[in-house]
Structure 1
Amino acid sequence: MGTYSQEGRPAFLPHIWQRIIMRFLLCIVAGVGLCVVVGMPVDASTGTGQLPAAGLGLRLLDAPSGAANDPRAQLYIVDHLAPGTVIQRRIEVSNGAASSTPVVLYSAAATVAGGSFLGAPGDTPNDLSTWTSVDPGTSTVPAGGNVTATVTIAVPADAAPGEQYGVVWAEARVGPVNGGGVTQVSRVGIRLYLSVGPGGAPAANFTVDSLTAERTADGRPSVLASVHNNGGRALDMFGTLELSGGPGGLSAGPFPASLGTTVAIGATESVTIVLDKQVPAGPWEAEIILHSGRLERRAQATITFPDAGSSPPAETKTPESGWLYVAVAVLTVLLLGTAAWLQLRYRRRRRITAEYAIRTRPMGDQNPEPGRTHLVEGQTGQRS
C-alpha cells in the first residue's frame, strides 16, 4: 500500500482539542440557561445618647477617601485599621444660640444592643475611648458661630481584632457647676465604628428574612422587616417599602423606614415602616429596599394588614433583576456565536486537510482494490 509525506501540511489545532473547547462552551451555555430558569438572586442619620440641645450642633468634616459614596461614612467615623495605625478626623461644633456657649469635647464608650446604638452615661470609658483624643478638649463657641476640632485615634500595636464602638461628644453645661443650683447638661455626639485587624475590612452583609404586617395602637398599618446581620460590621439601617398589586390594582409608596435601627454583628432586629392610615388591608405585593452604607438588599413578600395586632410573618424572596436577564442573554449569544464559529472553522479545516491529503497522495494510492497491486508509472505488477 502506498504512503504520502506530511511535510508542508498546515499546522491545525488538533481535532480533539477543538471538540473539547466546543463542548466546554456548550456546557457553559447550558448552565447559564439553567440559572435563567431557576432564577438568580441579585445582591439616616440619628443622634447618639440624648437629643441635642437647641442651638448646639456637631458634624463630621472628613471621611476616608475610599468612602466618598458611603452615606454612613459621611455622618460617622467609620474605619478599619491595623494595629499600630493612627488616623485623624476633623469635626465642627456649631452654636445657633443667641449667646456664646462653653463646650467640652471628649470621647466615651458605646454599645450596640437591642437594635440601638447606645452612648454610655457620662464619660464611661472603653478601649476605643482610651485610644481617642480630641483637640482642643474645651472651647467657647460664639453665638451663631462654630469651632473646629481634631479627633485622633491611635490604635495600639497589641490591640485585639474586632469591631468597637464609641462616641465623640460635644457637651455644653448651663448653670452653676458647684453649689445648690441646677446645672443643665446637653450634648451631641458623632458615632465611632472602628474595626481592628490586619488586611481589609470585614465584609458587611445582611438578609431580610420576613415581613410582618401589623396595626399600630392608633390603627395605622405598619410593616416589620426582620433583618439578620450575617456580616462582620454593625449595620445602620435605612430604606423604603413599596406596595403593588393591591385591591383594584392599587399601588402605594414608597414609605420610608423608621430611622435608628442598628443591627449588631450576628443579631436579628426589626426595621419598622409605618404607612398611611388610608392604605387598604390588601393583599399586597410588598417590596422592601434596605441599605447600610453602600450595601443594599431587596426582598419581596405577599402581605395583608390585619384589623388589629399582627399577621403571621411572611417569608421573603429575592426579586429578580431585569439587568440580570439582559446580561445572561448577551452572554448566551456570545457563547453560542463562539461555538458556531469554532464549529465552522473545524469543518473548514477538516475539508482543507482532506483536499490536501488527496493532492499529495501518490497515484497508486487512489482507490486501491483489495488483493491487487496497482500499477504506477515506471513499475510493473502482478496479481497476488
Structure 2
Amino acid sequence: MTFTVRRVLIALAVVVVGTVLPTTTTFTGPAGAATSAATSTPESIGIRLVDVPADAVDDPRARIYIVDHLNPGTVIQRRISVSNLSDTERRLAVYAGAASVERGGFNVSAGRTPNELTTWITIDRPLLTLQPHEEATVTAKIAVPRDASPGEHYAAIWAETGTTHATRNKNVVEVSRVGVRTYLSVGPGGPPPADFAIAGLSSSRLPDGRPVATAQIRNTGGRALDMTGELGLTRGPGGLSAGPFPARLGKTLAPGQSEPVMVTLDKQLPAGPWTALIRLKSGLTERTARAVITFPQHSGESRSGKMLPLSNNGYLTAGVIGILLLAALSVLVLRRRRRRSSRERESA
C-alpha cells in the first residue's frame, strides 16, 4: 500500500538553458547564467523546478534540485517547467536517467540508463511539442516502494531535444538535454542530518603560476553535499589582505566520501605567510576553518597549513585567564582582611 505526502509547495523562478549541440548536457543553475545563455544562443531549451516544499524554502539546494527524504511507501509530486527558448518548433522528450556521486562529482549516465530511483519516477507528459518561446509544465511523480533499499539515491529528470542534419555520407543527430538533479534519501523516520568537516588546508601553485588553496572535506553526515564557499586572506606580508576568492564549484560528496575543494587565487599574490579563513557550505550546513599558509614558489609543490582556532583565542584565552586570576586574588585578599578584622575584635 502506498500513500501520498501532501506538502505546501512554493513557486520558483530558476531557469537553466541548453544549446542544441552534439550530446550536450546541462543542469539547473543560477538564473543569471541562464539569462546570459538564453540571450546569446538562438536555439536553446530551458528547464526549472516550479515548486519547493515550504519546510525547505530556506535551503538554496532545494530551490534548484529535488532534495527530499521519504519513508518507504511514500508518493510525492514535483512540477517542472520546460521551455523552448528558440525561434523554431521543438519536440522534447522528458524522462528520468540514472546518476551517481563519485570522485567529487554528480555523474550522469548516458541516455535513459536506469537505476533503482528512475524506476520510481513517472512523468505525466513524457513527450512535448513546443512552439517558439512556449513553456509547458510537467509533473514528476516519485513513488517509493515499501521494499525500497534505504540510503541515498540519485537521478536526473531530463528534457531532451534533437535535430537531424543530412551530410554527404550520413545523417548527424545533434542532441541537447537539460536536467534537474534528484537527491532522494530513503528510510524510516526523519531525514538524516547533513554535516561535513574541514580536515585541513594546504597551498600549492598551478603550472601557470597561480596560487591555489585546497581544503580537504569529509562528508560526515547522511546526505549528499554540493559544496560552495569562499576564502579570504589576512595578515599577509606588510599587513596585506586579499579576497574573498570563490571556491571552485562542482564538488559533490556522498556520505562518507572525502574530496578536496580548491580555491584559485590571483597570480600576483605574494607567497605569504597568510592567515586564511575558508567558509564552505552545502544548503544550510556551513563550516569554517582558519590556517596559516604560505604558497610555494614553484608548481608541483604542496604545503600543509598550520590550523588555527576560529577566533583570536590567544588574546581571548589570556584575557579570560587574567580575569580569573584577578578574581581569585581579590577573594584571597578579602578573606585575609576578614580574618584580621575578626582577630582584632577578639583581642579587644
Q: TM-score, normalised by structure 1?
A: 0.69
Report the CA distance between 1:95 and its aligned residue: 2.1
1:136 has 2:125 as partner: yes
| Counterpart residue number, 1:107 | 96
Counterpart CA distance in 2 for 1:174 and 1:138 is 15
Counterpart CA distance in 2 for 1:261 and 1:317 is 25
Contact 1:211 1:226 in 2 (8 A): yes
Summarize deviations over 1:335-370 as a string: whole Å, max 9, x none: xxxxxxxxxxxxxxxxxxxxxxxxxxxxxxxxxxxx
- Within a 5 Å distance, the mapping from 1:309-324 to structure 2 comes to 309=299, 310-320=301-311
Which one scores higher on RCO, CA 8 angstroms, separation ≥ 6?
1
| Counterpart residue number, 2:172 | 182
Secondary structure, in 3 states, of the residue corresponding to 1:105?
Answer: strand
Given the alignment, which residue of 194, 205, 212 partners 1:204?
194
Q: Aligned in 2, Cα 1:269/1:168: closer, same or farther, shift over 3 Å?
A: same
Given the alignment, which residue of 226, 230, 233 partners 2:216?
226
Report the CA distance between 1:214 and its aligned residue: 1.3
What percentage of residue pairs aligned between the two structures are identical?
49
Q: Aligned in 2, Cα 1:121/1:317: closer, same or farther, shift over 3 Å?
A: farther
| Counterpart residue number, 1:351 | none
Q: Which amino acid aligns with 2:133?
A: G
Contact 1:113 1:264 in 2 (8 A): yes
Q: Structure 1: state its 5+ residue gaps.
A: 1-43, 330-384
Counterpart CA distance in 2 for 1:181 and 1:320 is 64
Summarize deviations over 1:91-126 as a string: whole Å, max 9, x none: 111222111211100001100000000011111101
Q: Aligned in 2, Cα 1:166/1:302: closer, same or farther, shift over 3 Å?
A: same
Q: Aligned in 2, Cα 1:141/1:133: closer, same or farther, shift over 3 Å?
A: same
Q: Which amino acid aligns with 1:189?
A: G
| Counterpart residue number, 1:335 | none
Summarize deviations over 1:21-73 as a string: whole Å, max 9, x none: xxxxxxxxxxxxxxxxxxxxxxx999999444952111111111111110000
- Within a 5 Å distance, the mapping from 1:286-325 to structure 2 comes to 286-309=276-299, 310-320=301-311
- Within a 5 Å distance, the mapping from 1:70-109 to structure 2 comes to 70-109=59-98
| Counterpart residue number, 1:244 | 234
Contact 2:16 2:178 in 1 (8 A): no
Contact 2:15 2:46 in 1 (8 A): no
Given the alignment, which residue of 156, 165, 168 partners 2:157?
168
Contact 2:16 2:47 in 1 (8 A): no
Secondary structure, in 3 states, of the residue corresponding to 1:66?
Answer: helix
Given the alignment, which residue of 191, 195, 199 partners 2:181?
191
Q: TM-score, normalised by structure 2?
A: 0.76
Counterpart CA distance in 1 for 2:53 and 2:245 is 31
Counterpart CA distance in 2 for 1:218 and 1:180 is 42
Aligned Cα RMSD in Å? 2.5
| Counterpart residue number, 1:120 | 109
Report the CA distance between 1:321 and its aligned residue: 9.1
Q: Aligned in 2, Cα 1:45/1:261: closer, same or farther, shift over 3 Å?
A: farther
Q: Which amino acid aligns with 1:100?
A: E
| Counterpart residue number, 1:259 | 249
Q: Which amino acid aligns with 1:191?
A: R
| Counterpart residue number, 2:341 | none
Counterpart CA distance in 2 for 1:219 and 1:83 is 52
Counterpart CA distance in 2 for 1:315 and 1:132 is 48
The structure in which a higher percent of residues are helix is: 1
Counterpart CA distance in 2 for 1:156 and 1:321 is 52
Report the CA distance between 1:141 and its aligned residue: 2.2
Moved over 6 A (4+): 44-49
Secondary structure, in 3 states, of the residue corresponding to 1:175?
Answer: strand
Q: Which amino acid aligns with 2:295?
A: F
Counterpart CA distance in 1 for 2:245 and 2:68 is 31
Secondary structure, in 3 states, of the residue corresponding to 1:130?
Answer: helix
Q: Structure 2: state its 5+ residue gaps.
A: 1-13, 27-36, 321-348
1:62 has 2:51 as partner: yes
Secondary structure, in 3 states, of the residue corresponding to 1:316?
Answer: strand
Q: Which of the two has higher C-alpha Rg?
A: 1
